[in-house]
Amino acid sequence: MTREEFEELVAEALDRIPPELTRLMDNVAVFVEDEPPAEDPELLGLYEGTPLTDRGEWYAGVLPDRITIYRGPTLRMCAGREDVTAPDPTGAGEPPEGVAPGAREAPEGARVPVVGEAGATAGPAAGQGAGSGVEPGGVSVGGRGGPSDALRDAVRDEVAITVVHEVAHHFGIEDERLHELGWG
């Protein structure tokens, strides 16, 4: 899955947040980065800032809060799911080396930027250039045209959960409560 496709899924997840809530969001930017900090390599998302519930009269002239969604760990987690890695039920045969089962030709498309998009923080592994079909962490997610439908659906679902989780932190909701609500 390309960075642009992943950013599009993040933008879709943000668009699904009810307008009543997005109107309340204040001074926050959303970023997509390839990899999280090395000390937490499986982190899917991160909220950094002062939640709305903690802001007072003192809150003025500060940099925006930052929500970061990490592409690499999300792709690796979703690619490792059984329902995504099962053999191709179409019987179309084995895909070429480095191409995920069910992959299809990716359309050349317009880019859907995410608010405050950041540059990549980690490049492809040595010897794996752009278009190799190998994504951050060596996960093959498509090559000849992008991810399988199952992988794209799994990534879409996980991105939606992660975006809601991080936006909830902006509203002051803690991890424990999010897990109770099923958004952990």
pLDDT at 182: 86
Kindly state the tokens that stand for 149. 């439908």
5 φ, ψ (degrees, to nearest 5): -65, -40
Pairing label, strands 65-70, 45-48 = antiparallel
pLDDT at 105: 29
pLDDT at 114: 43
pLDDT at 80: 84
pLDDT at 125: 31
Residues with pLDDT less than 70, the chain: 82-147
Render pLDDT for 35-65 as a digit per residue (tens, 0 to 9): 999 999 999 999 999 999 999 999 999 999 9
Kindly state the tokens that stand for 58. 């003192």
pLDDT at 84: 63
The beta strands (E) that lie in 11-122 are given as 28-33, 45-48, 65-70
- Determine the distance from the C-alpha atom of residue 6 to the mean position of all C-alpha atoms in its chain, rounded to a whole number: 6
Kindly state the tokens that stand for 36. 């999280």
Query: What is the enclosing helix (H) or strand (E) of 12?
Result: helix 3-15
pLDDT at 117: 40
Is 3-123+132-180 CATH 3.40.50.150? no
Please state the pTM of the whole predicted model. 0.68
pLDDT at 37: 96
pLDDT at 70: 98
